Amino acid sequence: KAGVTQTPRYLIKTRGQQVTLSCSPISGHRSVSWYQQTPGQGLQFLFEYFSETQRNKGNFPGRFSGRQFSNSRSEMNVSTLELGDSALYLCASSLGRTSGFNNEQFFGPGTRLTVL
């Protein structure tokens, strides 16, 4: 079974631009979460989607947004990029059963975003 895929793997942008990152979950998984990883702040939760609905959102400015499509694929968008947005953005998928949250999340390789 194919794992979580993220595209692109690497991205270089300049301040003020916007960027869209894509995530394809494991087949059959309906829940997708996004995390930002930086050396200073560690792993921070961005958002979580289940069946095209945002179920939870982390403490990030409105420049960060996301969505999920009917095939469970997800995108996140960052507008008006700042230097501090440079990070590894990780996508994770899980079965997302509403009966419980004991299902582990499977992570993709991440998208390395560099803002110049």
Shorter beta-carbon distance to other proteins: residue 86 or 103: 103
CB of residue 102 to other proteins, shortest distance in Å: 4
101 binds other proteins (CB under 8 A): yes
Residues 6+ apart with CB under 8 A from 29: 72, 93, 94, 95, 96, 106
Whole-number minimum distance, CB 51 to other proteins, in Å? 13
64's tokens: 């960060």
Among 8, 61, 84, 109, binds other proteins (CB under 8 A): 109
Task: Look at phi and psi of residue 17 and say left if phi exceeds 0, alpha if psi is from -120 to 50, else beta.
Answer: beta
Q: What binding mask, one character per residue, do residues 46-85 give for other proteins by CB under 8 A, x or -? A: --x------xx-x---------------------------
* Residues of span 8-47 touching other proteins by CB under 8 A: 31, 33, 35, 42-43, 45
Query: Which residues in this chain contact other proteins in the complex, by CB under 8 A?
Result: 4, 31, 33, 35, 42-43, 45, 48, 55-56, 58, 90, 92, 94, 96, 98, 101-110
